[in-house]
């Protein structure tokens, strides 16, 4: 009996030694991903949703592994703000030593992280910042799958002028790099087409009461469109204040509010009737029939028992882009960067990805136009 036990022990030990010595065991090779997202402060709703999308994608990718690799992620709180974002990036690089990083959502924070990542030669894949400065002039280590402010602004201004026959506009935007940049691109394009900007209204993220702003717009006469660049919370209050002042269609007025890619799915339900007639671009269209979209929605609901938002979707896409790069041979920071730059014909939940020389995704099918109907559902306008 004792002899049998000894043989059994030797067998078990030998199997461990053999397994450890065997090259290319799937679970031994890891691609470390750093996640730089806001986990605290007013922008923390980004981080929570990004994390959901990333965790779901990693779970799916790791079931089969990619070329013998599995993905692993560690998050740092970059707080949607330049200083904490820089500190978080340094901490991540020094302690976790990732092969690549994902983030941030807020343009100001992303711009602060970029030089840190460039110095460390670690690629940064961004999915939620719109400032043109991120890819113009471009940084070899930063990639963006989201359409930038120029792509969004030119497109929305052209559609406002040509499809909605808008001739007058009032700009409403938060005083951040992204807010100011988006509004400027809209204004330049709209004016070049022959439109007139009646009001240019910027405000801080601490503004709560938008009735005074809505009153000012109501006093400006006939306003055809009101492009609005804010995060969800302020966006809700602006939409409601404009309706209360009788400016927009939701309040019996004529103006059409134009929204950005920043607002999540479900915004209409929160804003209520005030959102009637609101036209906005979204990064994720849950009515899209492509299997990758419907499969994502099914998996997301199964895991979290809730509807996914565009933030969940673009975070999910970030991991899928990384998985695609690993599949094509990426194994360290340099090769991941080089292979990511050659990405073409990638089809994700939010749309296609193909990077240009500045590492900006040039595909416009990530911009989906939606109009809010009286029952607060979406109507896809199919403008792209």
Partner 1 sequence: MLTVALQQGINGIVFGSLYVLVALGLTLIYGVLVQINFAHADIVTIGAFAAYFFTFVFGGNYLVSIGIALMVGAALGWVVNAAIFAPLRERGSELLPLIATIGVSILLQNAMLLWFGPIPYAFDSPYSNEVIRLWGGTFITWQNLIIIVVSALTIALLYAFMKFTMMGKALRAVAQDRETAGLMGINPNQLVMLTFVIASALAGMGGAMLGPILVLTPFAGTSVIVKAFAIVIIGGFGNVEGTIIAGLAVGLIESFATQLINPGLTDIVVFTLLLLMLAFRPTGLIAEKREENV
CB 272 within 8 A of CB 265: no
Tokens of 270: 């929160």
Q: What whole-number distance in Å separates Cα of residue 335 and Cα of residue 330?
A: 5
The CA dihedral of 184, 187, 189, 190, to the nearest 10 degrees, is 170
Q: What whole-number distance in Å separates Cα of residue 97 and Cα of residue 33?
A: 9
CB 237 within 8 A of CB 282: no
CB 342 within 8 A of CB 331: no
Q: At what angle do helices 107-120 and 177-193 cross, to 10 degrees?
A: 110
Compute the least distance from the CB of residue 309 to partner 1, in Å: 9
Of 17-25, 94-102, 267-275, 314-322, which part binds partner 1 (CB under 8 A)? 267-275
The residues near 354 (Cβ < 8 Å, ≥ 6 apart) are: 343, 344, 345, 346, 361, 362, 363
Residues numbered 47 to 66 that lie near partner 1 (CB under 8 A) are: 47-49
Q: What whole-number distance in Å separates Cα of residue 191 and Cα of residue 186?
A: 8
Residues numbered 73 to 102 that lie near partner 1 (CB under 8 A) are: none
Q: Mark residues 19-48: x for contact with partner 1 by CB under 8 A, - for none.
A: ---------------------xxxxxx-xx
Count of residues binding partner 1 (CB under 8 A)? 41
| E strand or H helix that includes residue 160 | helix 149-162
Q: Does residue 272 bind partner 1 (CB under 8 A)?
A: yes
CB 238 within 8 A of CB 213: yes
Of 8-16, 112-120, 240-248, 361-369, which part binds partner 1 (CB under 8 A)? 240-248
Of 90-98, 155-163, 213-221, 334-342, which part binds partner 1 (CB under 8 A)? 213-221
Compute the least distance from the CB of residue 39 to partner 1, in Å: 8
Q: Which is nearer to partner 1, 61 or 217 (CB)?
A: 217
79, 89, 93, 236: which one binds partner 1 (CB under 8 A): 236
Q: Which is nearer to partner 1, 80 or 116 (CB)?
A: 80
Q: Which is nearer to partner 1, 198 or 207 (CB)?
A: 207
Compute the least distance from the CB of residue 96 to partner 1, in Å: 23
Compute the least distance from the CB of residue 95 to partner 1, in Å: 23
Query: Measuring CA to CA, which residue among 62, 93, 125, 69 is closest to residue 315?
Result: 125
Tokens of 14: 């030998």
Of 8-16, 60-68, 195-203, 294-302, which part binds partner 1 (CB under 8 A)? 195-203
119, 254, 269, 342: which one binds partner 1 (CB under 8 A): 269
**Which residues of this chain interact with partner 1, rule CB under 8 A?**
40-45, 47-49, 175, 201-204, 206-209, 211-213, 215-216, 218-219, 232-234, 236-237, 240, 243-246, 269-274
């Amino acid at each position: 009996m004792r002899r049998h036990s000894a043989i059994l022990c030797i067998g078990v030990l030998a199997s461990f030694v053999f397994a450890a010595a065997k090259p290319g065991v799937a679970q031994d090779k890891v691609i470390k991903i750093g996640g730089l997202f806001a986990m605290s402060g007013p922008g923390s709703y980004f981080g929570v949703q990004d994390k959901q999308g990333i965790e779901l994608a990693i779970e799916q990718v790791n079931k089969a592994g990619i070329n013998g690799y599995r993905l692993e992620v560690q998050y740092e709180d970059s707080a949607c703000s330049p200083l904490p974002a820089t500190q978080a990036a340094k901490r991540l690089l020094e302690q976790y030593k990732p092969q690549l990083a994902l983030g941030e959502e807020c343009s100001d924070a992303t711009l602060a992280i970029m030089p840190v990542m460039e110095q460390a030669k670690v690629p940064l894949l961004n999915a939620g910042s719109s400032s043109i400065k991120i890819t113009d002039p471009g940084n070899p280590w930063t990639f963006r799958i989201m359409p930038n402010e120029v792509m969004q602004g030119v497109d929305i201004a052209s559609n406002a002028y040509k499809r909605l026959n808008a001739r007058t506009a009032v700009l409403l935007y938060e005083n951040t790099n992204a807010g100011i940049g988006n509004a400027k691109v809209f204004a330049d394009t709209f004016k070049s087409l022959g439109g007139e900007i009646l009001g240019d209204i910027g405000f801080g993220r601490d503004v709560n009461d938008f009735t005074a702003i809505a009153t000012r717009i109501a006093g400006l006469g006939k306003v055809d469109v009101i492009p609005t660049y804010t995060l969800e919370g302020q966006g809700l209050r602006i939409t409601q204040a404009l309706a209360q002042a009788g400016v927009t269609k939701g309040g019996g007025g004529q103006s059409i509010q134009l929204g950005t890619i920043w607002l999540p799915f479900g915004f209409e339900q929160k804003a209520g009737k005030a959102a009637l007639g609101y036209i906005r671009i979204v990064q994720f269209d849950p009515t899209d029939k492509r299997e990758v979209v419907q499969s994502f929605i099914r998996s997301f609901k199964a895991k979290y028992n809730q509807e996914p938002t565009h933030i969940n979707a673009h975070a999910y896409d970030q991991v899928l882009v990384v998985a695609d790069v690993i599949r094509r041979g990426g194994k360290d920071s340099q090769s991941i960067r080089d292979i990511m730059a050659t990405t073409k014909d990638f089809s994700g939940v939010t749309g296609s990805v193909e990077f240009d020389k500045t590492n900006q995704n040039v595909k416009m099918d990530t911009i989906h136009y939606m109009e809010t109907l009286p029952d607060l559902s979406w109507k896809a306008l199919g403008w792209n």
